[in-house]
């Protein structure tokens, strides 16, 4: 019997697969429709249980209308307070769940990696993001280099003579006088 089930499952035709698939989809649609109708009925029943009929507003006096408004405002305030309390409890429970999940990951030794996305960023943009408005440095390295003219290099060679000539010229009293006169100019 088991062999027949396996061979029968293998020999299922394309038409039969499509028919079964469509039947399953129809059944799922019906279940969803029935579920939504059931939820709508439950909602109506819950609202009917909570909501009291107001009555005929046209026949009420102004004092009765003012009392009705006060009652409605008090009920609205009470509902808002309970809603706020429930929101706070839900947020606290969500935080507790997140903390417990993190403890589970820590105990297992597996760390949850946050989803990262690739960002294309130039070096200037990266420095600006890290340093903020303090970033004034440009990453253009060639602009930061000292420019040297070819004519200046020849002057440097002409100025640099043999150091011994300089020492002999400045030696003695004549050399000190020459230094003094050179400083004047």
Identify the pLDDT of residue 142. 67
Global pTM reads 0.36
Structural domain boundaries in the chain: 20-51+69-108
Identify the pLDDT of residue 63. 92
Identify the pLDDT of residue 40. 96
Query: Could you give the C-alpha distances from 61 to 58, 70, 71, 73, in angstroms and in order?
Result: 8, 14, 15, 18
Contact 169, 178 (CB under 8 A): yes
- Residue 17 contacts by C-beta under 8 Å, 6 or more apart in sequence? none
Identify the pLDDT of residue 128. 77
Identify the pLDDT of residue 117. 78
Closest CA to 68 of 79, 80, 55: 55
For 4-36, give one letter per residue: b (16+ CB within 10 A) or e: eeeeeeeeeeeeeeeeeeeeeeeeeeeeeeeee
Identify the pLDDT of residue 111. 64
Residue pLDDT tens, the chain, 185 long: 455 555 555 678 899 999 999 999 999 999 999 999 999 999 999 998 888 888 888 888 899 999 999 999 999 999 999 999 999 999 999 999 999 988 888 887 766 677 777 777 777 777 777 777 665 655 566 666 777 776 655 555 556 566 666 666 666 655 565 666 665 55
Identify the pLDDT of residue 185. 52
What is the DSSP-derived secondary structure letter of residue 147?
P
**Token output for 89:** 């409890």
**Token output for 4:** 């027949």
């Amino acid at each position: 019997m088991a062999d027949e089930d396996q061979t029968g499952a293998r020999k299922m035709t394309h038409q039969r697969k499509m028919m079964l698939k469509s039947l399953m989809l129809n059944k799922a649609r019906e279940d969803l429709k029935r579920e939504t109708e059931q939820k709508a009925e439950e909602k109506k029943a819950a609202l009917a249980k909570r909501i009291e009929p107001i009555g005929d507003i046209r026949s009420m006096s102004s004092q009765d209308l003012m009392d009705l408004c006060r009652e409605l405002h008090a009920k609205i305030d009470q509902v808002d307070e309970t809603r706020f309390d429930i929101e706070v409890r839900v947020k606290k429970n969500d935080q507790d769940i997140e903390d417990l999940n993190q403890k589970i990951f820590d105990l297992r030794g597996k760390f949850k990696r946050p989803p990262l996305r690739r960002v294309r960023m130039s070096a200037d943009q990266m420095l600006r993001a890290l340093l903020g408005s303090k970033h004034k440095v440009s990453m253009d390295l060639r602009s930061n280099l000292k420019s040297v003219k070819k004519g200046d290099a020849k002057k440097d060679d002409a100025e640099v003579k043999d150091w011994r000539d300089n020492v002999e010229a400045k030696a003695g009293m004549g050399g000190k006088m020459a230094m003094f006169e050179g400083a004047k100019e």
